Amino acid sequence: MRGGWWRSVVEKIQVWVSDVVLLQPDRDVLRKIKPMFSDSEAEARITDSRRRSDTPPDGAPSGPLASKWTRHKDTSKLISPANRRKYTIIVVGSGLAGASAAATLSEQGYNVKCFCYQDSPRRAHSIAAQGGINAAKNYHNDGDSVHRLFYETIKGGDFRAREANVHRLAEVSASIIDQCVAQGVPFAREYGGLLANRSFGGTQVSRTFYAAGQTGQQLLLGAYQALSKEISSGGVKMYARTEMLDLVTVDGHAKGVVVRDMVTGKISSHAGDAVLLCTGGYGNVFYLSTNAKGCNVTATWRAHKRGAYFANPCYTQIHPTCIPVSGAYQSKLTLMSESLRNDGRCWVPKRKEDCGKPPASIAEEDRDYYLERKYPSFGNLAPRDIASRAAKEQCDDGRGVGPGGLGVYLDFADSIKRLGRKAIEERYGNLFQMYEQITGENAYEQPMRIFPAVHYTMGGLWVDYNLMSNIPGLHVLGEANFSDHGANRLGASALMQGLADGYFVIPATLPNYLATQKPGAVSERDADFKRVEAEVNERTSKLLSINGKRSADSFHRELGLLIWDKCGMARTKEGLTEALRKIPALREEFWSNLRVPGSGDQFNPQLELAGRVADFLEFGELLCNDALQREESCGGHFRSEYQDEGEARRDDDQFSYVAAWEYTGDLSRPKLHKEWLEYQEVHFSTRSYR
């Protein structure tokens, strides 16, 4: 009795002391107030007081991690089939996430409006994905499992991803393959007819399903045929060649979009009961990237300026296997699939004087297979961020190959000798053909030359477990959100996330919001729609009226090269500070010296580009601000001041949070919100692939 009474008193005192610490987190406070705490306990309580998240709750259920998703589905709200047809869902984007979401929601009975700026959903950038899609099916019986895929994704993201979302992604992965096979996606198969697998970076199992070097194209065609069926049945109304230019909120809820018909120039509004953004990433802020030229940040940035938090914008992925820049005339770069590193070996000459020699003339003992040397456990399949920095390291050391010394070799000679040329052709034939068309070099006879380039963005709009942003009704899917990859995405996981979000997650979670809303409560005639539409018209007129001397593309190139130089593969406080000084000046010149030919009431690609570049000029400042405040190195965010012999050095005590930025009206003063990451199944540890 006496012991229990004393413990009760102690617990009450501890709660009181914790509250005091929250008000004054001084390291001596606990010792002054209550000497019963040890130094470690005092430190822990101070740390806890500083780790209070000020983002909305993530919405994940409590309890064991492995059962969270099942429990969440079991307890989520439902919309009856008879009532679903009363709701209208707006889907912006028709790539893997958008097409799968639009098709699935329509199949469930909702009315769907789907928008894309391409002339067909089939031209979404998802089509460019080459190497494969991950799934924890363990077909090779090599030890794979849902838990292993989950853990390797968390580790690959350098322990900067939300645990519950990643585990759900791993759980759903196997169902994606079943869905796509049922659609007729022609995955590669082994001789006996079973689905084939190969390995990707950051793993030691074979879990990647693929369709030669065009997996994204085949998966998109599967989603597109599902979408086409719903368009034909009337469940989906498709708006091609239509670009979203702003988000409409009514009483704080996302209820519609303002769009521009890219053929006629007409600006109009569309109302709905919820808005789904499936618009991809912002890699083109760097100008040169592997993204299609049309990829942009406009939809997510416009949502951000309407109140949506933008999370972790500094987490950008540099892909190690891209065709090197060949000249200043280039406007984009070309990806060479990570799958090539299954059979290709990365090397550079050991001696600088050998860099100009033909690769065949360099003896084996004079070659440095640097990934195999530095990371023997994973070798050439080290994760993308690590492999990219390793390639840059060789080039910075003066041992790069090709024009300007900005390249390393990817050599298939050993694999061709071991397996035969025919086997390599079957696996990568279209990639070798594409490489030869671009470079004029035959990669069967001499090594490919590759160099890192911007490829993917892990940052995006903040979302909760339901994929809803902090703006009620605004849901964000695929690469447009931040939730699954942390500071670095493992290869073959982008397609997995896009289809998981569209086919399986949003159909189960969207009713949690819709059930709280009266269907059809708003219309395009409402004042909020008219106001936003007028603002879009005003912004468009302003772009056309500047009548300066520089093209939008020239501003885009200057911005991109600046951000690549100061906020690319390696970042420093000095470089980021310089970028933050130059970007506002460049933006000011843009709004005084831009020239957009033509008018707004016609097909005008230059006007489209100008609007996108205007948003990049604003977003670029947030990107650099985020990189500057994160004084650590993790994944694709590498601050040169924070490293141990070239390896990223995290600071889990200070920076193990999601940085969710709020627009304040002043681009130079965004407000930082923090969602501290809490792990129950994994533990923070040094990320090692040696």
Taking the CB of residue 487, how many other CB atoms lie within 10 A of it?
A: 29
> What's the pLDDT score for residue 12?
41
d(CA 653, CA 540): 46
Checking 224-227 for CB contacts under 8 A at 24+ apart, the result is: 224/94, 224/99, 224/121, 224/122, 225/183, 225/184, 226/99, 226/100, 226/103, 226/104, 226/107, 226/183, 227/94, 227/99, 227/102, 227/103, 227/114, 227/121
Is-contact 630 639, C-beta < 8 A? yes
**Residues 6 or more apart in contact with residue 291 via CB below 8 angstroms:** 125, 280, 281, 283, 284, 332, 454, 455
Taken in order 663, 664, 669, 674, the sign of the CA dihedral is negative
Tens digit of each residue's pLDDT (9 = 90 or more) over 443-496: 999 999 999 999 999 999 999 999 999 999 999 999 999 999 999 999 999 999
Task: Return the pLDDT at 49.
Answer: 52
Q: What is the pLDDT of residues 346-396, one digit of tens each?
A: 999 999 999 999 999 999 999 999 999 999 999 999 999 999 999 999 999
As given in the structure block, the two tokens for residue 107 are 């199949």
Q: Which regions of the chain carry the CATH code 3.90.700.10? A: 319-455
319-455: CATH topology is: Flavocytochrome C3; Chain A, domain 1 (3.90.700)
For residue 6, what pLDDT is reported? 45
pLDDT of the residue at 327: 87
pLDDT score recorded for residue 50: 64
Model pLDDT, residue 51? 83
Q: How far is CA 579 from the centre of its chain?
A: 23
In the prediction, which pLDDT does 28 show? 40
Whole-angstrom CA distances from 452 to 274, 319, 571 are 39, 5, 15
Q: Is 367 a catalytic residue?
A: no
Considering the candidates 345, 384, 399, 489, report the single residue annotated as catalytic: 384
For 456, phi then psi, to 5°, come to -150, 160
CATH class of 74-314+456-514: alpha beta
Helices (H), 454-505: 494-499
Identify the CA nearest to 621 among candidates 569, 566, 543, 675.
Answer: 566
688 burial level (CB within 10 Å; 0-12, 13-18, 19+): exposed
Write the secondary structure of 68-112 as one string of H (helix), E (strand) and C (coil).
Answer: HHHHHHHHCCCCCHHHHCCCEEEEECCCHHHHHHHHHHHHHCCEE
pLDDT of res. 78: 98
Residues of the chain with CATH 3.50.50.60: 74-314+456-514
Q: Do residues 315 and 487 make contact, with C-beta atoms less than 8 angstroms apart?
A: yes
Residues of the chain with pLDDT under 70: 1-50
